[in-house]
Amino acid sequence: MTDKEKLDSYGLKPLEDMKKSGCSKDYMIRVSSGTSGKKPVFMIQNKSRDLGKEPLFSNQFKDVRRIVFFGGMLNARLSSAARFLFYLGEDEYTILAVDNVDMNSSLEGLFRDFKPEGFIGFPSFIARALSFVNDKRVLEHVKAVRFSGEMISDAQKELFHDKIPQATLENIYASAEVGYMSGVSCSHLKESQYHPYERVNIEIINQDEDGVGDLVVSYNLSPSIYINQYVTGDTARFLKSPCVWRHHNI
């Protein structure tokens, strides 16, 4: 088993590799802010695990070129920016990373100017941003919204259907310290259901009679470092339907 502290200690081994190789562009930084008295996590990881060519987006994102990132730590926004600008082939993405200080009434004018086509971020942050936009025409180019980090509430869902009715909403299961744990959202899955990401191994331990238990993941942090059974702190159960896996966020 790997807990947060142990994960954090593994995360410095790739730093030594990086220093030796002198080739920092093969690496990425992963951090989490360490909530509720827990220590933050700082890790260097070989970028190959998470920054492949596969975009992990549904088809709805295929034509999206102007993307707004919302909230989260700057490191998360930078990693997302790097993914689009450096690793997703030749497409001409333009990104706008909305910061906390931009969350005011000038947002409507900025969106009118930027003409966003896709949104990525925490549902609560996107919902707060949309509350500053009264003229829905500003959002008419938004084709798709990708959430992660939290579950979307009914009130937020309603707001999105009102402000961006034309956009498809999709969800991914990821965390700041691990990264992607689910793959592309697919149409026959409900909101809290995911397909596992192929580059992590997912197990559910301490299952109760309904199969609900603690979600642990195992994966390669770098070619030489294997993270064994990291305890995510979430509970989940497997589904037997065509879509195999179910996750409850707690």
The site for Zn ion (CB under 5 A) is made up of 186, 243
Shortest separation between residue 114's beta carbon and another protein, angstroms = 6
Using CB under 8 A as the binding rule, whether residue 86 contacts another protein is answered as: yes
What residue 137 binds from another protein, Zn ion, none (CB within 5 to 8 A, per partner kind)? Answer: none
C-alpha closest to that of 4 among 38, 33, 27: 38
Whichever of 81 and 243 has its CB closer to Zn ion, that residue is 243
- Among 80-88, 127-135, 215-223, 228-236, which window interacts with another protein (CB under 8 A)? 80-88
Q: Cα 187 from chain centroid?
A: 18
Q: What residues numbered 20-79 form the site for another protein, per CB under 8 A? A: 22, 24-25, 27-29, 31, 33-34, 40, 42, 44, 73-75, 77-78
Whichever of 189 and 200 has its CB closer to Zn ion, that residue is 189
Using CB under 8 A as the binding rule, whether residue 142 contacts another protein is answered as: no
For the chain, count helices (H), then strands (E): 6, 13
Q: Is 62 exposed, middle or buried (0-12, 13-18, 19+ CB in 10 A)?
A: exposed
What residue 21 binds from another protein, Zn ion, none (CB within 5 to 8 A, per partner kind)? Answer: none
Contacts with 90 (C-beta within 8 Å, 6 or more apart), sequence order: none
- Among 96-104, 138-146, 172-180, 239-247, which window interacts with another protein (CB under 8 A)? 96-104
What residue 133 binds from Zn ion, another protein, none (CB within 5 to 8 A, per partner kind)? Answer: none
Q: Is 82 exposed, middle or buried (0-12, 13-18, 19+ CB in 10 A)?
A: middle
Using CB under 8 A as the binding rule, whether residue 98 contacts another protein is answered as: yes
Shortest separation between residue 60's beta carbon and Zn ion, angstroms = 15
Q: Which residue has the tokens 């999709």?
A: 170
C-alpha closest to that of 78 among 108, 51, 114, 107: 51
Alpha-carbon distance values, 29 to 178, 180, 201, 219 (Å): 11, 14, 21, 16
Q: Which residues of 170-203 are buried (b: 16+ CB within 10 A; e: fewer)?
A: bbbbbbbbbbbbbbbbeeebeeebbebbebbbbe
Which residues make up the interface to another protein (CB under 8 A)? 12, 15, 18-19, 22, 24-25, 27-29, 31, 33-34, 40, 42, 44, 73-75, 77-78, 81-82, 84-86, 91-102, 106, 109-110, 112-115
